[in-house]
């Protein structure tokens, strides 16, 4: 039975807003269509409480047997998990000497390993940022309450009416809500890298050898980049938002690193789609390595190239996939569809997650939905842990419990 006075955290997008009253879809006080849709879908699903499949114990036994027999299991997915479930997943991978491959952008990981990061929280952006540079990402679309929660509120260091300047730099600018931006630097197709090289040159104040811009960008864009470089220099608290996956991870990271040699530039990641947690942080904290590791008798091996999920499958290096997720992202959906028919899969998923049609034999173990039926903390994209209070708690097993039940005694 849902408690209508409860304040809950919404998993609708990467902002993970923790100020929702669950009757908001009726009162209209909640100004977020995505959250209202999320709540309505959850309530209608929970109106008929889902029951565990009758053969759940049998499936658990089969999964335990498969894990025992596997010589080289791959543990993957891990999107939308609580922190406790991420920890249990790491312990299971360690207990069965498996690979863990989180499938993240390799170039982005290498760039941060080499040049470090300069992260800040959404709270800092909200209270302090005076210039928000959206690098090939549109937070007004991917984070429904971005304007209300991050741009508009006054803060300790920002008086009412003094919202941050928001600038877009990237391709596909015709699809943006133009009224939300103070300035849009619209790049021609395939010119993002050239523009970033030019912006880095301007920020470092390095004349090119010919005293001409290093790229062939249109004159109007070059002039806008010059103004942007000056604004970044002048800003007291500039923040760069990037979504990843634009092929320019190295350029963005170098720009942040170089700028921070002389002044200041913070960076926050803006994943599209629902909140997915941050399993890379947990894996790093527990093992000392990010994203791609193999546990063995002798220790932990880290190899970003060899341990990519697709590479492991192509090389026939794994004999079992343990796929754990609360959210199915397009990245993992595509991966699952390419699996060979002879690879057994154990899928530990939340009850509302629909797996694609798979050629391989699957043992599916279902858990209650985090933040609806079960509780726990999830890391927001900026690294802040937030509680997900279940608004309709029931007897459902959580993903963490399922993972722990599979651990050897």
By beta-carbon proximity to ligand SF4, the closer residue of 37 and 236 is 37
By beta-carbon proximity to ligand SF4, the closer residue of 125 and 365 is 125
By beta-carbon proximity to ligand SF4, the closer residue of 129 and 143 is 143
By beta-carbon proximity to ligand SF4, the closer residue of 78 and 140 is 140
3 state SS for the chain: CCCCCCEECCCCCCCCCCCEECCHHHHCCCCCHHHHHHHHHHHHHHHCCCCCCCCHHHHHHHHHHHHHHCCCEEEEECCCCCHHHHHHHHHHHHHCCCEEECCCCHHHHHHHHHHCCCECCHHHHHHHCCEEEEECCCHHHHCCCHHHHHHCCCECCECCCCCCEEEEEECCHHHCCHHHCCEEEECCCCCHHHHHHHHHHHHHCCCCCCCCCCCCCCHHHHHHHHHHHHHHHHCCCEEEEECCCCCCHHHHHHHHHHHHHHCCCEEEECCCCCCCCCHHHHHHHHHCCCCEEEEECCEEEECCCCCCHHHHHHCCCCCEEEEEECCCCHHHHHHHHCCCCCCCEEEEEECCCCCCCCCCCEEEEEECCECCCECEEEECCCCCEEEECCCCCCCCCCHHHHHHHCCCC
Residue nearest to ligand SF4 (CB): 12
Q: How far is the CB of 16 from ligand SF4 (least distance, A)?
A: 5
Q: How far is the CB of 385 from ligand SF4 (least distance, A)?
A: 15
Q: How far is the CB of 130 from ligand SF4 (least distance, A)?
A: 23
By beta-carbon proximity to ligand SF4, the closer residue of 146 and 168 is 146
Residues near ligand SF4, by CB under 6 A: 10, 12-13, 15-17, 32, 34-35, 143-145
By beta-carbon proximity to ligand SF4, the closer residue of 29 and 71 is 29
Q: How far is the CB of 387 from ligand SF4 (least distance, A)?
A: 14
Q: How far is the CB of 123 from ligand SF4 (least distance, A)?
A: 14
Closest CA to 378 of 49, 32, 80, 152: 80
Q: How far is the CB of 48 from ligand SF4 (least distance, A)?
A: 24
Q: How far is the CB of 266 from ligand SF4 (least distance, A)?
A: 21
By beta-carbon proximity to ligand SF4, the closer residue of 26 and 61 is 26
Q: How far is the CB of 181 from ligand SF4 (least distance, A)?
A: 19
Distance separating alpha carbons of residues 325 and 211, to the nearest angstrom: 52
By beta-carbon proximity to ligand SF4, the closer residue of 213 and 277 is 277
Q: How far is the CB of 21 from ligand SF4 (least distance, A)?
A: 11
By beta-carbon proximity to ligand SF4, the closer residue of 124 and 301 is 124
């Amino acid at each position: 039975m849902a408690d209508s006075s409860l304040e809950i955290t919404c998993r609708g997008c990467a902002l993970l807003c923790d100020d929702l009253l669950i009757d908001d879809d009726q009162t209209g006080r909640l100004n977020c269509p995505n959250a209202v849709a999320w709540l309505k879908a959850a309530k209608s699903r929970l109106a008929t409480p889902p029951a565990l499949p009758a053969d759940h114990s049998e499936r658990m036994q089969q999964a335990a047997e498969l894990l025992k027999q596997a010589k080289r299991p791959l543990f993957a997915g891990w999107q939308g998990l609580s922190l406790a479930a991420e920890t249990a997943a790491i312990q299971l991978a360690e207990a069965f000497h498996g690979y863990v491959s989180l499938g993240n952008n390799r170039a982005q990981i290498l760039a941060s390993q080499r040049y470090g990061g300069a992260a800040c929280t959404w709270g800092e952006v909200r209270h302090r940022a005076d210039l928000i540079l959206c690098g090939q990402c549109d937070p007004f679309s991917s984070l429904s309450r971005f304007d209300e929660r991050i741009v508009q509120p006054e803060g300790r260091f920002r008086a009412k009416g003094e919202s941050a300047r928001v600038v877009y730099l990237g391709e596909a600018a015709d699809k943006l809500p133009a009224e939300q931006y103070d300035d849009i630097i619209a790049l021609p197709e395939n010119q993002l890298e050239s523009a970033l090289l030019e912006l880095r040159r301007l920020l470092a104040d390095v004349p090119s050898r010919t005293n001409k811009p290093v790229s062939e960008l249109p004159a109007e864009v070059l002039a806008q980049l010059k103004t942007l470089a000056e604004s970044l220099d002048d800003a007291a608290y500039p923040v760069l938002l990037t979504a990843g996956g634009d092929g320019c991870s190295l350029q963005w990271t170098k720009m942040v690193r170089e700028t921070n040699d002389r002044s200041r530039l913070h960076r926050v990641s803006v994943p599209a789609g629902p909140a997915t947690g941050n399993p890379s942080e947990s894996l790093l904290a527990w093992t000392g390595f990010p994203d791609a590791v193999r546990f063995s008798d002798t220790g932990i091996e880290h190899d970003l190239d060899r341990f990519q999920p697709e590479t492991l499958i192509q090389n026939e290096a794994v004999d079992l996939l343990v796929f754990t997720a609360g959210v199915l992202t397009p990245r993992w959906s595509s991966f699952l569809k390419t699996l060979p028919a002879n690879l057994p899969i154990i899928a530990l998923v939340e009850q509302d997650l629909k797996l694609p049609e798979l050629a391989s034999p699957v043992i599916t173990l279902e858990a209650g939905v985090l933040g609806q039926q079960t509780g726990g903390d999830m890391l927001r994209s900026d690294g802040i842990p937030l509680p997900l209070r279940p608004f309709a708690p029931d007897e459902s097993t959580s993903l963490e419990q399922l993972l722990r039940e599979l651990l050897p005694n």
